[in-house]
Amino acid sequence: MPEEESAQFSIESVQVLSEDESVDEELVPSLSDEQLLELYEQMKRSRRLDERAVSLQRRGELGTYAPAIGQEAAQVGSAFAMAEDDWIVPSFREQPALLTRGTPPHKILQYAMGMEEGAEIPSGKGALPPAIPVGSQPLHAVGVGWGEALQDRSNVAVTYFGDGATSEGDVYEALNLAGVYDAQTVFVCQNNRYAISTRLEKQTDAETLAQKAIAAGIEGIQVDGNDVLAVYRVVQDAIESARNGDPVMVEALTYRRSMHTTSDDPSVYRESEEEAEWEARDPIVRFQVYLENRGILDEETKATIENRVESEIGEAIDRAKAGREEIDQADMFEHVYDEMPPELERQFEAFGGEADE
Amino acid sequence: MPEEESAQFSIESVQVLSEDESVDEELVPSLSDEQLLELYEQMKRSRRLDERAVSLQRRGELGTYAPAIGQEAAQVGSAFAMAEDDWIVPSFREQPALLTRGTPPHKILQYAMGMEEGAEIPSGKGALPPAIPVGSQPLHAVGVGWGEALQDRSNVAVTYFGDGATSEGDVYEALNLAGVYDAQTVFVCQNNRYAISTRLEKQTDAETLAQKAIAAGIEGIQVDGNDVLAVYRVVQDAIESARNGDPVMVEALTYRRSMHTTSDDPSVYRESEEEAEWEARDPIVRFQVYLENRGILDEETKATIENRVESEIGEAIDRAKAGREEIDQADMFEHVYDEMPPELERQFEAFGGEADE
Amino acid sequence: MSERLRIIEAVRETLREELERDDGVVVYGEDVASAGGVFRATQGLADDYPDRVFDTPVAEAGIIGTGVGLAATGMRPVPEIQFQSFLYQGFHQLAQHVARIRSRTRGTITCPMTIRMPYGGGIHALELHSESFEAGFAHIPGLQVVFPSSPAETKGLLTSAIRSPDPVVFMEPTRLYRSFREEVPDDHEIPLGEARVVEPGDDVTVIAWGSMLRETLDAVEDVDASVEVVDPRTLYPLDTETITESVKKTGRCVVVHEAPRTGGMAGEITSRVNEEAFLYLEAPVERVTGYDVPVPMFAREDAYLPDAERIEDGIRNALEFN
Amino acid sequence: MSERLRIIEAVRETLREELERDDGVVVYGEDVASAGGVFRATQGLADDYPDRVFDTPVAEAGIIGTGVGLAATGMRPVPEIQFQSFLYQGFHQLAQHVARIRSRTRGTITCPMTIRMPYGGGIHALELHSESFEAGFAHIPGLQVVFPSSPAETKGLLTSAIRSPDPVVFMEPTRLYRSFREEVPDDHEIPLGEARVVEPGDDVTVIAWGSMLRETLDAVEDVDASVEVVDPRTLYPLDTETITESVKKTGRCVVVHEAPRTGGMAGEITSRVNEEAFLYLEAPVERVTGYDVPVPMFAREDAYLPDAERIEDGIRNALEFN
Ligand SMILES: Cc1ncc(C[n+]2csc(CCOP(=O)(O)OP(=O)(O)O)c2C)c(N)n1
Ligand SMILES: Cc1ncc(C[n+]2csc(CCOP(=O)(O)OP(=O)(O)O)c2C)c(N)n1
Ligand SMILES: [Mg+2]
Ligand SMILES: [Mg+2]
C-alpha cells in the first residue's frame, strides 16, 4: 500500500489439434493407437446414439431428450482420463461421458423413456445418476471428493455442467467448498455457448468461465473443448492435481450443435450461419482427419467401427423397449424409503399393490 | 493457443493513512474540515452506541446485539460517500453506516429490543431494513440498482455484508447479476476476519475476497477498512462507477474487535494477543491522531463531540424504552398483508384484537 | 372484445395488457425474452417492451431476490420460474424476504411480485418438472397462492395477481396450457380469495383446483349423484365460507390434489370443514391425492396422478359412507 | 449407566457415541468444531474426532449438497444447520436430492443423512431464529421428520435417526435445550414412527410435539378433565394408529403446534383422524397453533406462541362442543 497490486491471476488456454489440423506435437498426450481409436469410437457411438434418440423421440418412443451433438470431444476426452474407480457426477446431457465410463446405451435410452431403471447405479459407486436441476450436482461431486479424501482413498470425482449452470449459486459454493475441503474433485464446465436460448453473454460479464475458479482460490483453465486430445491432456492433469487435494475447474470451449432438447427449436434464437461455422469445427471430424493423417484410421477401420456402433445401438434400442414392456407401475412405492412406512403402505394397497413381505 | 494466457487479472489495494500515521497526501480525498470532523463524530457515535447497547443487553434491556466495534471506518467512510437519494442495503451489523445515513439511534435500539418499529423505512425508499439471513441482501441491492437504472434514475445501492457471507451462493449470484444487468450497485464486503467463530481461512482458499468479483467480470478492489479516508476514497469512486452502470465490489480489510453478538464469547476461539494487535490498529484512534496532527481536532472539540454523542445516545435510550412501553402486541396481524384476509381476521379476533375498519 | 384463447395465450395477453397499463411492470426469467419462454407464454413481449422484458441467467435465487429490490424501487416484478420445482433454488428468498418484507418493515416496504410458474404433471416431462408444492407455499404467511384452471380464470386471476399489493405465487397448470380454448373477456379481474362454484349440486362437494379441476369435471359426468364442484382458485387466502356453505348443504366432501397426500392442502381444507361444518358432516372428508412418493418419471407418472377414475372412487366413498 | 442430562447434553452425548460406534459418521456445520456450535451442542467433539468434526463455510446449500456426496461414498453425514430457517438456503438440495436420490436410482444410491437444527421460538432470539416448517418437510416424500421433546427422547430418537438408512430432518426445540434435566439411559434407541402416550386419559386427546409438548403438559395440569397426551415424535412417518386409537377412546382431539395454522400439521392430523375415527369424533378437531403471520420479533413473540393458556382454551373448546 498505499495503492498497490495485492494479487494477480491469469487463465491459460490449451489446444493440441488446431482447426486447420496443425498439431502441437509437444502437447500430444501419450496414448496408444488403440486408445486413440477408442476415443474416436466413443465419440462416434455417442453421436449415433444421440441421432437415433432424436428420431425415436420424434416417433414418440422417447420423452424429452438432450443431445450432446458437438460436445463429444469435451466429454469423451475428459471421461477417458478418469481411472477405474473415479466417480462421474453428470448433469443431464452426459451421454458421451457416460458411454465412455461404461454405461450401457440401453440404460441411457430407458432414462429417456421416463424409466428410473435408466438411472440405477448397480454397483452403488463410481457414479451418481443424471439429475435435472441445473448447477446442483457439483456440490455432490465435492461431497464425493471430500468423502474419498476423508476415507483415505485416492479416487476423484469428475462433475459436468454447462455455461448456464455457472450462474447458479450452487456452482460457486461447490468451487469454493472444494478449495476449503481440498476435495478430490474436477469440475468440467462445458461452455457450449447456450443455456437453452440464452447466450453466454447474457449469463455473465466474465470474459472466461474458467475465471470463476479464481473466486474460489482454485485453479481454473480453458481448453478447446472440440479438441479431444487437448481435453484429455488438460483433464488428466486436473485429475492428477485433484487426487492430491487440489481441485481444478476446466472450461471446455465447445458448442451445442443441435437443439437444447427435443422440445426446443434453436432457429427461434440463433442464426444458421453460426451453426454452420461450428459444423466446420466439429470435434469428430477434426479428430478423424488427425487419425487419418497419422495413418491410424483407414476406410476399413472406419466402416468396422460404424457397423459395430450401429448394431450396438440397434440392440440397445430393442433392449430398452423390451425393458419398457416389463415395468411395474407399483415400483414407484418401493424405493422411497428403505422400509415402506405404514401410511405409504396403505396408499400402496389402495393403489392395488401388494407388499413384498 | 496451443498454450497461452487467455485472460489476466489483478486486485489493487488502497491505503491513505498508514498505521504509523504516515499519510499518502496524493490520495487524501478532498473533504472540508467540517466533513472530516463529521466522519470522526459518526465513528465516535457509533462506537458509543455499541458500547451502551452491549451493557444494556447485559442488563436484560436488549436482545441479541451485534456490535460493529472496530469496523467504524469501513462503514462510516463508505456510507459518507453516498449521495442523498442513494440506497443502503444493510445486513445486521450496520449501526455505523445506518447512523451515518441518518437512522436515529433510538430506532436501532428498538430493533435490538425486538421491535419491528426499528426496521421501518418511513419514506419507503433509500434503504432496506436490516435482515438476518447471511448473504441474502446483496441480491436485493442488485434489484434496487437495476430498478433505478430501468427507471432512468441515477441512484445507486450500496450493500454491506461480511467475509462469511461470501461463501453463500447468493452473494456470487448478486455479483454476477450485477454485471449482467449493469446494476447501479456497490458491494461493500467487510472482511472482519471472522464469521462467528470461523476464521476467514476456513471460508475460502481465495487469497483476497475482492477477487470474488473476477468471477462476475466486475471490478473488485481492496481497501484498508480501518482507514476511513481510504474507504471514503475507494467507495466514492466505486459509487461513481456504479452510477454509470459498472458495479464494483470493495473488500474492506478490518477486524471485528468485539464479540460476534452478545450471545458470543470470542475467547473460546481466538487469542487475546490477536485482539490486542487490532486494538492498536483501531480505526477511530488512527483517524483521531490524523485529525490532531492536521490541527483539526483539539481537546475542546473532542469533549464537545463526546458530550453531544453521550447525551444523544442517552436520549435515544430513553426514547427507545418509552416506545417499548407502547407497543401493541396485536400489531403482528396488521402488516402481513395490505388487507387482512378472512382467516387471519378470525385469528386476530380470537387473539382479542379488533379490526381497524 | 372477448376472444377465444388457450391458457397460454391468456397468460400472454394478460402480461401484455399489464405491461401496457402500468410501466412499472417488468417481466423476466430464463428464456423469457428471446425465446418467449419454454412454453412461449411470453412470446413477442420483448419485441414490444424491450426495456421491461428480460432474459435472466439461470439463477432462481437471483430472480426472486432481485425482484425484492425491483419492487422496493417501485416496480412490479412478474418473474417466471421455468418449472415450479426450480423455485426451490430461490426458496429462501421467497420465505425470508418476499413473504416478510412487509411485516419486517411494518408495511413501509412491500413486495408486489407475481411469481408465475408451470406446475404439475401430465405432459410426460423430465423429472422435477411435475411437482405441486402449493401446501408449502400456502403455509408461508405473507404469500398468496393462486391457481387458474381455465383461460378466462387465468386472465382474471393473473390480472388481479399483478395488481395486488402483495406477493403472489401463481401456479399455471402445465398440462392445460394448450388443451382447450375458452371465451376470455377483456378487462377481467377476479378478486383473490373468492372460490367459484363450478357446478352446483346437493349430494357431495368436490373441491379441486388447477388441472385437477378438469379431471374432476370429467369424473363428475360419470357419477350418478348431484355433485357440487368448488374451485377455491386461491389457496391462500382460502375462501372457507364458500367451501363450508357447500359442505353444509351436501354433508359430504372430497378434496382432490396432485401433490402427495401427507401435508397436502386437503388436510387444511379438512380442518376448516371440521371447524365450520362439523355437525353437517355425514362422512369423513375424502382425499384423492398424489401418493407420498416423489412424482415418478413419466413411464410411471400416470399411475401417480389422480385421474377421473380415482376421483370417481373418492366421490363414491364419500357418498357411500354411513 | 444412565445420567441426568439436558437436551443439549443428550445431543452431544449421542453424537459422541455415534462418532465412536461408526467411523462413517461425520459431524459438520457452521461453528460446529472450534466453537462447538452456537448452542454448544457439539462442544468438545472436534477435540476427540478431529478428522470427522468440521467447521464449514456459511453455505447451507453446500452443507446439504456435499452431504449427498459424502453419503454416496459410504459416510453418514450429520450436519447441523445453525437455525431451522437457514435450511431454506439449502431447500433445493433437500427437496431435489436428499429426499429423492433413493427413488431416482431405485435404491442403488441412498442418503442416510441426519440434518440437526434448532427450531421454534421462546428464547427471544433474532428474526428468523424461531420458525418451525415441519409441515413443509413432512410434505416431501423421502424425508423423515423427527421431534425430540426431552433429553431421553433426544437420545433415543437421534440415535435412531443417525442409524436410519434414510434422511432425517431432526428438529431440536431450542427453548428446551437447557430447560430441564432427565435420566437418559445408555444405548437408547426409539424407533422412528412410533408415537408415545405421554399421559393417559379418557376425555380428550391432545397431540403435541417438541417444545409444545411441555406447554401442553403444563396446560393439562389446570384442566379439570382426564386428558390423554400423545407425542407423535415423528411427523413422517406419523403413527396414525396410536393417534386414532386414542381419539376413538376419547372422542375429542386437540392438536397443538407452533407453526402458523394454515398448512400446518394439524390439518394432516385432522384428516387422518377423520379418515380413521370419524364415527368416534364428538367434536371437530381443535387446532391450537401459531397465527398466519411471520413469527414476530421478540417483543411480540410471546403473543404469537401458543402457551398453556391457549392450549387450555383449546382443550375446553373441544370438551364443551356439543
Ligand atoms: C435449477 C434449474 N433451473 C432451470 C432449469 C431449466 N433448464 C434446464 S437446462 C437449462 C439450461 C442449462 O444450460 P447450461 O448449464 O449451459 O447446460 P446445457 O443445457 O447447455 O448443457 C435450464 C435453464 C433446470 N433444469 N434447473
Ligand atoms: C443464511 C444464514 N446462515 C447462518 C446464519 C447464522 N449467522 C449469523 S451471522 C453469521 C456469520 C456471518 O459472518 P460474516 O458474513 O463474516 O459477517 P459478520 O458477522 O462478521 O459481520 C452466521 C453464520 C444466518 N444468520 N443466516
Ligand atoms: Mg450451455
Ligand atoms: Mg465477518
One domain for residues C160 and C306: no
Which domain CATH number covers C206?
Answer: 3.40.50.920
What percentage of residues in chain C have a pLDDT greater than 90? 98
Across the interface, of B139, B150, B342, the residue whose CB is closest to C62 is: B139
Task: Mark yes or no for CB contact D103/A332 under 8 Å.
Answer: yes
CA distances to B80, B203, C25, C272, D315 from D267, in Å: 52, 42, 37, 8, 17
Protein residues with CB under 6 Å of any ligand 1 atom: A 93, 132-134, 161-165, 192, 194-196, 256, 260; C 30, 58, 60, 82, 86, 89
In a domain, C191, yes or no: no
Among C135, C161, C184, where does a domain finish? C184
What percentage of residues in chain D have a pLDDT greater than 90? 98
Which domain CATH number covers C135?
Answer: 3.40.50.970
Query: What is the mean predicted confidence (pLDDT) over A298-327?
Result: 97
In a domain, C190, yes or no: no
pLDDT by 10s per residue, chain B, length 357: 678 999 999 999 999 999 998 999 999 999 999 999 999 999 999 999 999 999 999 999 999 999 999 999 999 999 999 999 999 999 999 999 999 999 999 999 999 999 999 999 999 999 999 999 999 999 999 999 999 999 999 999 999 999 999 999 999 999 999 999 999 999 999 999 999 999 999 999 999 999 999 999 999 999 999 999 999 999 999 999 999 999 999 999 999 999 999 999 999 999 999 999 999 999 999 999 999 999 999 999 999 999 999 999 999 999 999 999 999 999 999 999 999 999 999 999 999 976 554
Give the model's confidence band at A2: pLDDT under 50 very low, under 70 low, under 90 confident, else very high. Answer: confident
Predicted local distance difference test score (pLDDT) of residue D1: 59
Task: Mark yes or no for CB contact A167/B176 under 8 Å.
Answer: yes
- Closest-CA distance of chain B to residue A210, Å: 8
One domain for residues D205 and D180: no
Pick from C83, C157, C76, C161: which is nearest to C117 by CA?
C83
Q: What is the DSSP letter of A17?
A: B
Q: What residues form DSSP beta bridges with D144? A: D168
Among C151, C184, C217, where does a domain finish? C184
One domain for residues C210 and C298: yes
Q: Check CB contact of A14 with chain B, cutoff 8 Å.
A: yes
At C181, list the grid cell: 380454448
- Closest-CA distance of chain B to residue D188, Å: 32
Q: What's the mean per-residue pLDDT of chain A? A: 97
Residue nearest to atom 13 of ligand 1 (CA): A195
One domain for residues C126 and C85: yes
Do D202 and D319 touch, CB atoms closer than 8 A?
A: no
Place of cell 428480460: C54
Give the model's confidence band at D169: pLDDT under 50 very low, under 70 low, under 90 confident, else very high. Answer: very high
In a domain, D83, yes or no: yes
Query: What is the mean predicted confidence (pLDDT) over A64-72?
Result: 98
- The count of residues in chain B is 357
Interval between CA A234 and ligand 3 midpoint (Å): 20
Interval between CA B164 and ligand 1 midpoint (Å): 28
pTM of the model: 0.98
One domain for residues D65 and D122: yes
- Closest-CA distance of chain D to residue A144, Å: 4
One domain for residues D32 and D176: yes
Type and span of the H or E element at C118: strand C114-119
What domains can be seen in chain B, in order of their start residue? 13-259+274-324 (3.40.50.970)
Domain count, chain C: 2
Domain that holds residue C239: 196-320
What percentage of residues in chain D have a pLDDT greater than 70? 100
Interface of C with D in 281-320 (CB under 8 A): 281, 283-285, 287, 291-294, 296
Rounded distance, CA B192 to CA B177, Å?
25
Query: What is the mean predicted confidence (pLDDT) over A214-243?
Result: 98
Residue nearest to atom 21 of ligand 2 (CA): B162
Query: What is the mean predicted confidence (pLDDT) over D253-270?
Result: 98
One domain for residues C97 and C229: no
One domain for residues D173 and D26: yes
Task: Mark yes or no for CB contact D70/A143 under 8 Å.
Answer: yes
CA distances to A135, A312, C211, C265, C308 from C218, in Å: 40, 46, 11, 22, 6
Protein residues with CB under 6 Å of any ligand 2 atom: B 93, 132-134, 161-165, 192, 194-196, 256, 260; D 30, 58, 60, 82, 86, 89
Each residue of B290-322: pLDDT tens digit? 999 999 999 999 999 999 999 999 999 999 999
Annotated catalytic sites of D, by residue?
129
One domain for residues C209 and C294: yes
In a domain, D190, yes or no: no
In a domain, D189, yes or no: no
> Half-sphere exposure of residue B241, counting CA atoms within 13 Å on the CB side?
19
Query: What is the mean predicted confidence (pLDDT) over A39-54?
Result: 98
Rounded distance, CA B231 to CA C31, Å?
40
Give the model's confidence band at A315: pLDDT under 50 very low, under 70 low, under 90 confident, else very high. Answer: very high
One domain for residues C10 and C48: yes
Predicted local distance difference test score (pLDDT) of residue D32: 98
- The count of residues in chain D is 322
In a domain, D98, yes or no: yes
Give the model's confidence band at A357: pLDDT under 50 very low, under 70 low, under 90 confident, else very high. Answer: very low
Query: What is the mean predicted confidence (pLDDT) over D200-204?
Result: 98
One domain for residues D174 and D203: no
Torsion angle of the four alpha carbons B86, B92, B94, B98, in this order, in degrees rounded to the nearest 10 = 50
Each residue of A152-204: pLDDT tens digit? 999 999 999 999 999 999 999 999 999 999 999 999 999 999 999 999 999 99
Interval between CA B271 and ligand 1 midpoint (Å): 47
In a domain, C250, yes or no: yes
Q: What is the DSSP letter of C200?
A: -
In a domain, D191, yes or no: no
Across the interface, of C133, C260, C267, the residue whose CB is closest to D267 is: C267
Residues 6+ apart with CB under 8 A from B34: none
State which amino acid sits at residue A175: L
Each residue of D287-297: pLDDT tens digit? 999 999 999 99
Among D131, D155, D184, where does a domain finish? D184
Interval between CA A200 and ligand 3 midpoint (Å): 8
Q: Which residues of A touch C301 (CB under 8 A)?
A: 114
Query: What is the mean predicted confidence (pLDDT) over D125-152?
Result: 98
Each residue of C158-212: pLDDT tens digit? 999 999 999 999 999 999 999 999 999 988 999 999 999 999 999 999 999 999 9
Question: Best of A196, A257, A261 to mutate for ligand 1, by most ligand atoms within 8 A of CB?
Answer: A196
Pick from B241, B75, B272, B42: which is nearest to B162 by CA?
B75
Signed CA dihedral, B281, B282, B285, B288: sign only: positive
Kindly indicate whether the ipTM for this predicted assembly is greater than 0.95, answering yes or no: yes
One domain for residues C43 and C85: yes
Each residue of D173-200: pLDDT tens digit? 999 999 999 999 988 999 999 999 999 9
